[in-house]
Amino acid sequence: MNKKVQLQDLGKKDYKETWDYQETLFKEIVDIKVQNRNANAKLPTPNFLLYVEHPHVYTLGKSGDMSNLLLSEKQLQEKGATFYKINRGGDITYHGPGQIVGYPILDLENFFTDIHKYLRLLEEAIILTLAEYGLKTERSPGETGVWFDVGTPFARKICAMGVRASRWVTMHGFALNVNANLGYFDNIVPCGIRGKAVTSMHVELGKEVNEDEVKHKIVAHFQHLFQAEIVS
């Protein structure tokens, strides 16, 4: 089992371009697995963790409801945003500047074969990272992601998650609001959940946050939780 995870920070990158790159890496892993099965071989499969910041974009998961996008095509253009229907789970979400987006492309057979556990560990990496800033977050039953004040009228989400997995290979991932412009969330029903707010680290802390520092903290927790070896 290969527990090495190649960390790649793509910087600012177009959503579709990044999605295509994810698909390339995903296919590379799946092809090796198929080859191993057909030839009864044991070639190691690689794992990746991509960091990226996208220009303003809305994405709708395969089970999502188009009515949760509250903008017309013209209004999207006016806001400088794009829109894509994609092949992850979940409903609609927003990505943009000031947000850390992480795409783990892992062969879970290198770690464990349990999608539920995979999602919970991704959430835990974010929860532990936020705790380092004195922010107490938690899970919301039945709602993937990381939240504040679950079960109260003040419930608000700080990190959205949506993944795809096939042959135990993952893609897509998490989006943590660090210094994000939350006004862009007003144009959707985030994750299809009405009546619950969205927040960002800079709002909760009352100051701008160093995004590179947050990335390092997430990687450290990810490495520990997945018992992985992060390589650059």
> DSSP states of 206-218 as a string?
TS---HHHHHHHH
Q: Is residue 94 annotated as involved in ligand binding?
A: yes
**Cβ–Cβ < 8 Å for 71, 187:** yes
Tell me the percentage of the chain whose pLDDT exceeds 70.
97
Q: Is residue 92 annotated as involved in ligand binding?
A: yes
Q: And the tokens for 1?
A: 């089992």
Q: Who wins on pLDDT, 194 or 58?
A: 58
Helices 211-225/115-131 angle, 10° precision:
140
Cβ-based burial of 222 (10 A; exposed 0-12, middle 13-18, buried ≥19): buried
Q: Is residue 151 annotated as involved in ligand binding?
A: no
User: pTM of the predicted model, to two decimals?
Assistant: 0.94
Active site amino acids: 191
AA letter at 191: C
Q: Is residue 160 annotated as involved in ligand binding?
A: yes
Domain over 52-100+112-226 is classified CATH 3.30.930.10: yes
In this prediction, residue 93 carries a pLDDT of: 87
Domain extents in the chain = 52-100+112-226
